[in-house]
């Protein structure tokens, strides 16, 4: 018997369910289960709730003898351990858990095995974060230690206080362009003030329960500015990639490219070869062995090559004099009230980018680690981290998708891995700072070019081009404005265009028509009242426009994914409109159902959704035969799909025998 109430609950729930489900051919009806529930003692009811849910997922049960046998076992377990009382579930307890960091929740059943896994993952991702943190800082126009200090402070705080199981926080490529423009306009103190303002905004977003507010950014806008940011990051690395002799790199895109073209005759071939080799190493590692962190291999290999062959290239030591050895010092930035209004727009941009990146990274973490993050707790942690980071001379921070993926692949089990990643970076600063001097800037430029390529969402462009002219215009304008003007202005314009597109899509789907005999006749194939839904099928419906801002409601399906039958039908009869973000949500749902061994069918799509799905070639994700005209056709198709699944399973069993 487990020695904690939480463990006891899980143990008893599994054992009772196991005893009931092992009874061959026994089926109890739901009504009998509910009647027996009334006779249970108070201490057993919460175990029964778990049992009841599991029984619903597998069918009803028949026969009171099996129930009596199972519940006598349950009560005997409680009789033998009366000192173990189940926790009383109150509204206060539920609300407290809703605001607790994931690190606190997961430490309740922490053990040595999980610690070893977290230790290995934390050290691995810490070493991966080292060259990235320095590269982001240099690209932003500050010293490399600013990136390392940011990764240490924010990496620890985001893992300790956040709502994600395996997310890694720190400086990211998304902030490079914004940080560089803020420093150029308002100086380093302006950056620190802006970062702290953004942190306050993020805390307010989390506390007010608006952690999902970022869902109101439509897909074309997000793809547009990530494409633009990737192009800008790549353009800032051309000088160091080719070793060009330039004292200053202009901040404006066209001026920067003109200056690079004018100095291209000063190319350094050793630096270029080193950068190309670093890039090829990372491409090779990403393609053939994702467990090997390419950034570490490239950085260490390039540093060793410079040291062994005395290559005439710029290093961190030659440009910045290395990084300080020792703990970062706390220093309150100079506060300038006259800049507050001017910094409000950049602070909103930093907060918006931080929220989007962190929640996107948390979703990646959820999928890879089979967990569900708490967006409001996560945003509070992001805000606290950004308030504290400037006190140590650090940059803005958010969730890092690539480092989060590395963390999960390395075996991380809890947020402890993220804290160890921060402590690993701290150990480098304390004990190995002199070694960082030899890191060549060409290698860091190659690393950042790889980052720019990975964050660019380039695979989304062909999908965007299949959408409506309005969606394409929003994407193209957002990307263009991001590159040639300012990110804040680009996102504001993109959001305005998306809002107008939203209004237009809703307005064109509103119709007024007369009800005729033909309309009634055509509608009969869509109604569910006279249809028999077999046990291997479940039907969900979408009611209303399925546009950006509401696509998170698809979690009604994904949250119960493991309990769904083999065939899931999505009824779209009452879905009046859909956009690019809605399509992306349905594509993701289809992929997750397919990965779980289930099939998804769609039926009854109206004119606008059907047209957009056809133009976007949505049938590639579910199969053309699984797009049905009505629910009657979908149920017939479901029968064929289930028979095919059953035949395939039977054949597999025969082969294994």
Q: What is the DSSP string of 251-320?
A: SSHHHHHHHHHHTGGG--HHHHHHHHHHHHHHHHHHHH-TTS-HHHHHHHHHHHHHHHHT----BHHHHH
**pLDDT band with cut points at 50, 70 and 90 for residue 213:** low
The domain total for the chain is 4
Q: Is 561 helix (H, G, I), strand (E, B) or coil?
A: helix
The answer on 76 and 224 residing in a single domain is no
Per-residue pLDDT, 14: 54
The answer on 540 and 444 residing in a single domain is no
Domain assignment of residue 98, yes or no: no
Per-residue pLDDT, 230: 87
Gyration radius of the chain over CA positions:
28
Range of the domain at 13: 5-90
Q: Is 398 helix (H, G, I), strand (E, B) or coil?
A: strand
pLDDT at 92 over 70: no
Are 436 and 428 in contact by the 8 Å Cβ rule? The answer is yes
> Whole-angstrom Cα distance, residue 495 to residue 63?
60
SS3 labels along 133-155:
HHHHHHHHCCCHHHHHHHHHHHH
Per-residue pLDDT, 261: 93
Query: How do residues 163-178 score in pLDDT, each as one tens digit?
Result: 999 999 999 988 888 8
The answer on 603 and 565 residing in a single domain is yes
Which tokens go with 486?
A: 């300012």
The answer on 327 and 227 residing in a single domain is yes
Domain assignment of residue 513, yes or no: no
The answer on 419 and 534 residing in a single domain is no
DSSP assignment of 416-440? HHHHHHHHHHHHHHHHSHHHHTT-B
**Average pLDDT of the chain?**
81
The answer on 396 and 378 residing in a single domain is yes
Higher pLDDT, 171 or 62: 171
Domain assignment of residue 102, yes or no: no
Which tokens go with 618?
A: 């949505």
Element (H, E) at 603: strand 599-603
Per-residue pLDDT, 43: 40
Measuring CA to CA, which residue among 513, 376, 355 is closest to residue 99? 376
Among 121-130, 489-498, 647-656, name the most confident range.
Answer: 121-130
Element (H, E) at 49: helix 42-58
Q: Is 25 helix (H, G, I), strand (E, B) or coil?
A: coil
Which tokens go with 634?
A: 């979908």
Domain assignment of residue 61, yes or no: yes
How many percent of the chain have pLDDT more than 90? 36
Q: Is 5 helix (H, G, I), strand (E, B) or coil?
A: helix
Domain assignment of residue 100, yes or no: no
Q: What's the Cα-to-Cα distance from 648 to each of 19, 450, 590, 621, rounded to whole Å?
A: 29, 42, 20, 21
CA 65 to chain centre: 48
Query: How do residues 393-408 score in pLDDT, each as one tens digit?
Result: 999 999 988 889 889 9
The answer on 297 and 230 residing in a single domain is yes
Domain assignment of residue 145, yes or no: yes
The answer on 364 and 323 residing in a single domain is yes
Which tokens go with 246?
A: 């330039």
Measuring CA to CA, which residue among 204, 136, 214 is closest to residue 175? 136
> Whole-angstrom Cα distance, residue 543 to residue 527?
14
Which tokens go with 256?
A: 């920067």
Q: Is 450 helix (H, G, I), strand (E, B) or coil?
A: helix
Query: How do residues 236-262 score in pLDDT, each as one tens digit?
Result: 899 999 999 988 888 788 998 999 999
**pLDDT band with cut points at 50, 70 and 90 for residue 552:** confident
pTM: 0.71
**pLDDT band with cut points at 50, 70 and 90 for residue 5:** very low
Q: Is 521 helix (H, G, I), strand (E, B) or coil?
A: helix
The answer on 290 and 179 residing in a single domain is yes
Domain assignment of residue 259, yes or no: yes
Per-residue pLDDT, 64: 43
Q: What is the mean pLDDT of residues 227-241?
A: 90
Domain assignment of residue 99, yes or no: no
Measuring CA to CA, which residue among 546, 479, 469 is closest to residue 506? 546
The answer on 251 and 222 residing in a single domain is yes
User: Could you tell me the CATH number of the domain that includes residue 629?
Assistant: 3.30.750.24
> Whole-angstrom Cα distance, residue 240 to residue 245?
9
> What are the backbone angles phi and psi of residue 601, rounded to the nearest 5°?
-120, 145
pLDDT at 31 over 60: no
pLDDT at 602 over 90: yes
> Whole-angstrom Cα distance, residue 286 to residue 400?
17
> Whole-angstrom Cα distance, residue 416 to residue 122?
8
pLDDT at 544 over 90: no
Alpha carbon distance, N-terminus to C-terminus of the chain: 37
Are 102 and 164 in contact by the 8 Å Cβ rule? The answer is yes
Q: What's the Cα-to-Cα distance from 27 to each of 62, 67, 566, rounded to whole Å?
A: 3, 10, 20
The answer on 167 and 36 residing in a single domain is no
DSSP assignment of 334-352? PP-GGGHHHHHHHHHHHHH
The answer on 154 and 76 residing in a single domain is no
């Amino acid at each position: 018997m487990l020695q904690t109430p939480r463990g006891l609950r899980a143990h008893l729930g599994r054992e009772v369910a196991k005893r009931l489900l092992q009874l061959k051919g026994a089926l109890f009806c739901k009504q009998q289960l509910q009647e027996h529930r009334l006779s249970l003692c108070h201490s057993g009811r919460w175990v029964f709730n778990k049992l009841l849910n599991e029984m619903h997922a597998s069918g009803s049960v028949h026969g009171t003898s099996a129930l009596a046998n199972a519940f006598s076992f349950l009560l005997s377990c409680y009789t033998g351990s009366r000192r173990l009382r189940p926790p009383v579930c109150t509204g206060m307890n539920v609300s407290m858990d809703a605001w607790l960091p994931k690190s606190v929740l997961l430490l309740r059943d922490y053990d040595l095995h999980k610690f070893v896994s977290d230790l290995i993952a934390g050290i691995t991702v810490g070493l991966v974060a080292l060259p990235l943190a320095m590269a982001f800082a240099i690209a932003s126009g500050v010293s490399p230690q600013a990136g390392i200090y940011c990764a240490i402070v924010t990496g620890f705080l985001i893992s300790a206080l956040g709502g994600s199981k395996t997310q890694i926080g720190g400086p990211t490529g998304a902030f490079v362009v914004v940080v560089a423009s803020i420093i150029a306009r308002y100086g380093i103190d302006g950056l620190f003030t802006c970062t702290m303002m953004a942190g306050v905004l993020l805390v307010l977003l989390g506390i007010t329960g608006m952690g999902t507010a970022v869902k109101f950014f439509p897909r074309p806008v997000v793809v547009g500015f990530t494409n633009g940011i990737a192009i800008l990051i790549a353009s800032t690395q051309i000088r160091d990639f080719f070793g060009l002799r330039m004292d200053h790199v202009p901040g404006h895109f066209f001026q920067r490219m003109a200056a690079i073209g004018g100095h291209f005759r000063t190319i350094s071939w050793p630096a270029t070869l080193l950068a190309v080799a670093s890039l090829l190493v990372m491409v090779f590692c990403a393609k053939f062995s994702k467990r090997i962190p390419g950034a570490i291999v490239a950085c260490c290999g390039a540093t060793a090559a410079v040291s062994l062959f005395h290559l005439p290239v710029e290093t961190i030591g030659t440009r910045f004099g290395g990084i300080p050895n020792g703990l970062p010092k706390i220093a309150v930035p100079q506060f300038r009230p006259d800049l507050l209004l001017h910094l409000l727009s950049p602070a909103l941009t930093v907060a918006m980018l931080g929220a989007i990146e962190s929640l996107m990274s948390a979703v990646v973490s959820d999928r890879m680690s089979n967990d569900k993050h708490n967006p409001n707790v996560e945003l509070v942690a992001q805000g606290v981290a950004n308030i504290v980071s400037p006190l140590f001379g650090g940059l803005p921070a958010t969730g890092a998708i690539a480092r989060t993926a590395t963390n999960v692949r390395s075996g991380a089990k809890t947020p402890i891995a993220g804290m160890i990643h921060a402590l690993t970076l701290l150990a480098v600063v304390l004990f190995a700072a002199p070694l960082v001097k030899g890191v060549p800037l060409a290698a860091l430029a190659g690393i950042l070019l790889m980052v720019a390529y990975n964050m660019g969402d380039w695979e989304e462009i062909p999908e965007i081009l299949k959408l409506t002219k309005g969606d394409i215009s929003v994407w193209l304008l957002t990307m263009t404005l991001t590159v040639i003007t300012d990110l804040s202005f680009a996102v504001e314009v993109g959001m305005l265009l998306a809002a107008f597109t939203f209004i237009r899509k809703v307005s064109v789907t509103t119709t007024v028509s007369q009800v005729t005999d033909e309309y009634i006749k055509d509608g009969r194939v869509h109604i569910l009242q006279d249809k028999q839904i077999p046990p291997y099928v479940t039907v969900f419906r979408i009611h209303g426009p399925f546009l950006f801002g509401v696509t998170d409601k698809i979690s009604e399906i994904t949250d119960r994914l493991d309990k769904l039958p083999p065939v899931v039908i999505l009824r779209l009869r009452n879905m009046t409109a859909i956009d690019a973000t809605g399509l992306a949500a349905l594509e993701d749902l289809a992929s997750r159902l397919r990965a779980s061994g289930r099939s998804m069918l769609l039926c009854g799509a109206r004119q606008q959704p059907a047209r957009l799905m056809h133009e976007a070639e949505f049938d590639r994700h579910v199969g053309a035969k699984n797009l049905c005209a009505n629910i009657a056709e979908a149920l017939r198709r479901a029968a064929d799909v289930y028979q095919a699944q059953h035949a395939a399973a039977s054949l597999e069993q025969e082969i294994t025998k």
